[in-house]
Amino acid sequence: MEAIIFYIFSALTLAAGLFILFSKNLIYGAFALFLAFLGVAALYVLAGADFLAVSQIMIYVGGILVLLIFGIMLTQKKEKSDDSTRHNRVEAPISRQVWGSLIGTGFFILMLKVILSSDFKMAGEEMSSKSTIKTIGVALMTSHLLPFEIAAILLLVALIGAAYLALNRNPSS
Amino acid sequence: MTGIPVQYYLIVAAALFCIGLAISITKRHFIGMLLGIELMLNAVNINLVAFSRHDPERLSGQLFALFVIVVAAAEVTVALGIILRVYGRFKTVDPDKVSDLKQ
């Protein structure tokens, strides 16, 4: 049962990724990325990371994806045509397609070889089905306090920097 | 809980990583490249979570994945700010056409 759900969600994730790779329209790609993020969140749940799955949905789907769609819509081409499929069209030259598929499949075959030839000896016992929120919360407030604070400062700096960069986009006007 | 072998997670993550790599090479659009980078970060997180399943006391992998998500959020905001700025100056989102410093 668990294996079937795992296969379904990994197939969903990989199909969404391949759709982004082959679709010419970037908006469709962004919506396929939504499916890919949901599939990854489901894989987190299957691996016993419930808190991380909820954070994944909230941060990626609720934040990053909306930002990306904003970005796509703000950088549309100026010329308007009646053909609705022309907007957000990304032309990929054939040399880049060849290089992308070549490097992608080559790297995948390399990693597949490494993974299949490796023999992992897991020291700890497998996770029981209890919630991970308590462990993560305690670890964030004790042993991982410094990275937690640094992440907070990083987010503040990124927020201010992005707001400053995005402000007044057209200096001429 | 019988569980799925960790190799399955690794193979899915490797496939997702390579798809993201191919996307960021193929697309001639700044935001298309950003989509590929997001997929690659997610693939790495799957690896971390899959290994963290065998470490239920400390969950270091999940904590690391959490920080990766935070850094990805920061990265996307700054990258979008820069992309909007570049678009305001060059009126294009094609990385090949932003070539002022090129000879």
A82: pLDDT strictly greater than 70: no
Q: In Å, how far is A1's CA from the nearest CA of chain B? A: 10
CA distance B6 to A119: 10
CA distance B28 to B40: 18
β partners of residue A143: none
Per domain, the residue ranges of chain B are: 6-90
Residue of B nearest to A140 (CA): B63
For residue A20, the one-letter residue type is: I
pLDDT digit string, tens, across residues B52-80: 888 878 888 999 999 999 999 999 999 99
Backbone angles phi, psi at A89, to 5 degrees: -75, 130
Higher pLDDT, A126 or A74: A74
Are B17 and A111 within 8 A, CB to CB? yes
Judged by a CB distance cut-off of 8 A, whether residue A153 touches chain B is no
Find all residues with CB under 8 Å of A80, minimum gap 6, and list them.
Answer: none
Q: Supply the DSSP string of chain B, one letter for each residue.
A: -----HHHHHHHHHHHHHHHHHHHHH--SHHHHHHHHHHHHHHHHHHHHHHHTT-TTT-HHHHHHHHHHHHHHHHHHHHHHHHHHHHHHHS---TTT--TT--
The number of angstroms, rounded, from the C-alpha of A3 to the middle of its chain's C-alpha atoms is: 23
Are B74 and A158 within 8 A, CB to CB? yes
Cβ contacts of A24 on chain B, cutoff 8 Å:
none
Tell me how crowded residue A77 is: count the other CB atoms within 10 A of its CB: 13
Burial class, A87, CB count within 10 angstroms (exposed 0-12 / middle 13-18 / buried 19+): middle
CA distance A106 to A98: 12
CA distance B34 to A101: 18
Q: Supply the DSSP string of A20-35, one letter for each residue.
A: HHH-SBHHHHHHHHHH
Three-state helix/strand/coil letters over A73-108:
HHCCCCCCCCCCCCCCECCCCHHHHHHHHHHHHHHH
Q: Which of A10, A64, A126 sits opposite B73 (nearest CB)?
A: A64
Judged by a CB distance cut-off of 8 A, whether residue A162 touches chain B is yes
A173: pLDDT strictly greater than 70: no
With cut-offs at 50, 70 and 90, classify the pLDDT of residue A86. low
Q: Which of A21, A118, A128 sits opposite B23 (nearest CB)?
A: A21
Cβ contacts of B19 on chain A, cutoff 8 Å:
14, 17-18, 20-21, 104
Contact B29, A26 (CB under 8 A): yes
Cβ contacts of A28 on chain B, cutoff 8 Å:
none
Which CATH architecture group holds B6-90? Orthogonal Bundle (1.10)
pLDDT digit string, tens, across residues A96-140: 889 999 999 999 999 999 999 988 877 767 766 678 888 899 999
Q: In Å, how far is B97's CA from the nearest CA of chain A? A: 13
With cut-offs at 50, 70 and 90, classify the pLDDT of residue A8. very high
Cβ contacts of B56 on chain A, cutoff 8 Å:
48, 124-128, 135
Output the CATH code of domain A1-76.
Answer: 1.20.120.1200
Residue indicated by tokens 């010329």: A79
DSSP A48: T
Per domain, the residue ranges of chain A are: 1-76, 131-168
